[in-house]
Amino acid sequence: MDLELTGKRAIVTGGSRGIGKAIARELAREGADVVIAARGKDKLEATAAELSAETGRRVVPLVVDTGNETSVNALVERAVAALGGVDILVNNAALPGGISPATRLDQILDEQVIEDINIKVVGYLRTARAVAPHLVANGWGRIINIGGLAVRKTGRPVATLRNVGVAAITKNLADELGPKGINVTVVHPGATRTERTRSESEQDLAASVSIGRIVDAREVAYVVAFLASPRSVAINGDAVVAGGGSVGPIYY
C-alpha cells in the first residue's frame, strides 16, 4: 500500500532515540521530510545525520523543552521555516514509564506528578496548540499522540494518570479538528524493544504478551506511519494499542 506520505512534512518530538527515532525513520522511509525534536543537541544531530543518510530525506534536528511554552512555540516556528510547512505531528516527548516510580499512595510525590503531567499531557497540548493553525490552514493534517499501556493497568498510579490524560486530550482534539480535515489518534505501546532494552527484561515481559515476545520500536512505527497517512481517515479520536496483545483481558 502506498501511504501517500511522499512530500509530507512531519514533526516528531522525542525523536532522537527509542520509539520516536523509529517513527522518524519510518516516516522518512515513506517519503516525508522530518523535524526531530528533543532536549539533547548532540544526540539529536547524530540521529538526524544517521536517518538522513539512510533514507535520503531531510531530517532536521531542533532542540526543544516541551515543558515550556516558549520553547514549543519556537520549535514549531523553526520547523515550519525549515520544512516549508507542517502536515503531521507525532507527540512522543516523555520519559518512558514516567518520572514517578510510585506504586503506592504513600510513595507519590506532588512534584513528580506535576512534572509528569506537565511534560506528557500539557506538553502534548502545547505542541498540538502550536501546530494546529498550520494544519487548519492546510485543510489536512494528522496528530498522533504516543501514550502507553499503563492506561489499562493499575499498580503505577501516576503512569496511568498521564496516559489516561493523553487519551482524553486526543478525543477532545479529534472532535474539534476532525471537521477541519485533521485526524487525531493515540497509540499505546506496551513493553517495546529499543536500544535501551535488556534481553533479560524482554524474557520476563514476554509471557504477558499474546504474540509471545515484546514488539520492536520499528513495529510501533509501522502503526504510526499508517495513522499519519491519508489512508487512515476512518480512524479518529480512538486509541490504537501496539503492544503485541495483552494475555487475558478482553477489551471491546
Beta strands in 68-226 (DSSP E): 88-91, 141-146, 182-189, 192-193, 215-216
Determine the pLDDT at residue 198.
67
pTM to 2 decimal places: 0.96
Q: Is-contact 141 182, C-beta < 8 A?
A: yes
Q: Average of pLDDT values for 177-206?
A: 88
Percent of the chain with pLDDT over 70: 99
222 pLDDT more than 90: yes
Q: Is-contact 65 39, C-beta < 8 A?
A: yes
Least confident residue range of 15-19, 137-141, 235-239, 248-252: 248-252
C-alpha span between 131 and 221 (Å, rounded): 21
Banded pLDDT at 97 (limits 50, 70, 90): confident
φ, ψ (nearest 5 deg) of residue 93:
-75, 95
Name 199's Cβ contacts closer than 8 Å, sequence gap at least 6. Answer: none
Pairing of strands 59-63, 33-38: parallel
φ, ψ (nearest 5 deg) of residue 246:
-100, 125
Q: CA 201 → CA 158, 187, 224, 233, 235, distances in Å? A: 22, 22, 25, 37, 33
For residue 13, the 8-state DSSP code is E
Q: Is-contact 228 240, C-beta < 8 A?
A: no
Banded pLDDT at 96 (limits 50, 70, 90): confident
Q: What is the mean pLDDT of the chain?
A: 96
C-alpha span between 147 and 251 (Å, rounded): 17
Burial 213-230 (b: 16+ CB within 10 A, else e): ebbbbbbbbbbbbbbbbe
The topology (CATH level 3) of 9-242 is Rossmann fold (3.40.50)
C-alpha span between 143 and 245 (Å, rounded): 24
C-alpha span between 87 and 129 (Å, rounded): 14
201 pLDDT more than 90: no
